[in-house]
Every structure is written in structure tokens, then in C-alpha cells.
Amino acid sequence: MQLLVNVDHVATLRNARGEGYPDPTEAAEVCEKAGATGIVFHLRKDRRHIRDEDVHKLKKQVQGTLDFEMAATDEMLDVCIEVDPHLVTLVPESREELTTEGGLDMASVFEDFKQRVFSRLRETDIATSLFIDPNKKDIELAAELGSDAIELHTGTYANAPNKESKKHELERLRKGAVLAHDLGMKVNVGHGLNLTNLKPLVETVPHLHDISIGHALVSSALFYGLDTTVKKFLQIMENA
């Protein structure tokens, strides 16, 4: 189990005033020094937080795993292949959304991903991950496509309104992780994870590889500091 910190919202804060601070690259350095295994960023089509120059700076700065989240457009594929991260996580993206709203619908993207996206990525050393909901069909199609990993969308679990629905979502994630692992894929998770909901997740869901956490981690860092916050998340993972 390894923690990858998503630095998107360090850039959100920077962009709010158009100043050069806080710098996502500097945040990445603090996170890695505090024990994070790597860094995630999502280069959105509208560049609302991370910008192209951040991507190149992060590539130079990050020592551990670099996970490039993106929509599978030709433009993003060009940037990603040029930057050459360790991992690319393909996510659905819509311009109006405040954040990623769900996983990829694998049935509807399958043929396009096979012919246009994976054919290009397979010519590189970049490992692939698909951001999907914990549905049997989506997981099976991810394996059929030959993805190295999936990232199970934990947003529905994180936002579940009561104990019963949280339990239900955890069970879906557990089953999804077992299936993905049995099909030979690495199991990553992310979205909406925080200092409270991480513990039940890591104690219930097996085979976890990368856990990517951004918005809540950056928010907690305002109160505890970034170094201490990363260590708090790592402690939860270590105790599990």
C-alpha cells in the first residue's frame, strides 16, 4: 500500500490569486520527504488547476511514482507521452463538473481506447490505469483491454450518507478489488478519501497498491501542516 498525494488543489490555491505560490512542485517535495511514495496530478482540459508548466516541473522534481491523471483526448496523450510519467490514469472528464463525478463507462469507451489510446500507450513504458466504479463489467473490460491497473472510484463510499450505505459501498469496493486482483491487475483507489474514511477502507479492501488522496489532504494541511498531514495519512495505512 502506498500513498500518492494529488497536488491539484495546491495549484487551485495558487491560481485563486494568480501569484506564483503555493507551488505544487514545492508541495510535492514536502510530501515525498514526509514519506509519500509519489505524486498525482490531473491536467484538466480547461487547465483550471495544474498547468502544462507544472507537469514539466513535477516530472523533473518527483523522485517516486508520478501518476498523470487525464481524459483520454489526443491532446492529453501527446502531453503524457512527451512527459513520460510512470503511470497514466485515464478518467472521464466533463467541463462543467466541479470534480470527477464517476468512473469510466468501459463498455462505451472500450473500442476507442483499444484502437486509439492503448495502441499508443503500449508503445511506451507508461503503465496504465483506468478510473472505474467497482462494477464487475467495468473491471472485466479493463482487464480485457490489458490495463496494468484500475483505480477504484471511492467517491460513492466517501459521500455515502449513513453507516449502512458506507458498509454497502465498502463491500462493493472489496469485491471489486478481489476481482481485479484475480484478473491480474493492480488495485489502486482514490477520490474523496480523508483522515476519517481512510481507516475503514484500508482495513476492509484487500490488495491495495496506490492510494491517491488530494483535496482532503491539502485541506487538512492548512491546519496541521503538509508534512504532519502526510504522516497522519501514512500512519493510518501503516496501522491497518
Ligand X SMILES: NCC(=O)COP(=O)(O)O
Query: Whole-number minimum distance, CB 190 to ligand DXP, in Å?
Result: 5
Q: Indicate whether 91 belongs to the interface with ligand DXP (CB under 6 A).
A: yes
Amino acid at 77: L
Report CA-CA distances (Å) from 39 to 7, 17, 35, 210: 7, 24, 11, 10
b/e sequence 15-52, b meaning 16+ C-beta within 10 Å? eeeeeeebbbbebbbbbbebbbbbbbbbbbeeeebbbe
| Closest listed residue to residue 38, CA positions, set 70, 9, 62 | 62
Question: Catalytic pick from 32, 69, 93, 169?
Answer: 69
Q: Indicate whether 38 belongs to the interface with ligand DXP (CB under 6 A).
A: no
Convert residues 142-171 into a mask of x (bound to ligand X by CB under 6 A) and - (unbound). ---------x--------------------
Which residue, judged by CB position, is nearest to ligand DXP in the bound state? 99
Establish whether the linkage from the previous residue to 22 is cis, with ω within 30° of 0.
Answer: yes
* Residues of the binding site for 3-amino-2-oxopropyl phosphate: 6, 17, 192, 214-215
- For residue 129, the partner it binds in ligand DXP, ligand X, none, with Cβ less than 5 to 8 A by kind, is none
Question: Contact at 8 Å (CB) between 198 and 236?
Answer: yes
Convert residues 166-205 into a mask of x (bound to ligand DXP by CB under 6 A) and - (unbound). ------------------------xx--------------
How many of the chain's residues bind ligand DXP (CB under 6 A)? 12
Query: Whole-number minimum distance, CB 210 to ligand X, in Å?
Result: 9
Q: Indicate whether 100 belongs to the interface with ligand DXP (CB under 6 A).
A: yes
Which C-beta is closer to ligand DXP: that of 176 or that of 190?
Answer: 190
Question: Catalytic pick from 42, 151, 153, 169?
Answer: 42
C-alpha cell, 238 = 501503516
Q: Indicate whether 220 belongs to the interface with ligand X (CB under 6 A).
A: no
**Ramachandran category for residue 39: left, alpha or beta (phi over 0 → left; psi -120 to 50 → alpha):** beta
User: What's the number of CA atoms in the CB half-sphere (13 Å) around residue 14?
Assistant: 21
Question: Contact at 8 Å (CB) between 50 and 8?
Answer: yes
Strand partners, 149: 129, 186
The answer to whether residue 69 is catalytic is yes
How many residues are present in the chain?
Answer: 240
Convert residues 67-106 into a mask of x (bound to ligand X by CB under 6 A) and - (unbound). --x-------------------------------------
Question: How crowded is residue 82: how many other Cβ atoms within 10 Å of its Cβ?
Answer: 11
Question: Catalytic pick from 93, 153, 191, 209?
Answer: 191
What residues line the site for ligand X (CB under 6 A)?
6, 40, 69, 151, 190-193, 212-216
- Catalytically active residues, by annotation: 42, 69, 191
Binding positions for ligand DXP, rule: CB under 6 A: 6, 8, 42, 44, 69, 91, 99-100, 131, 190-191, 214
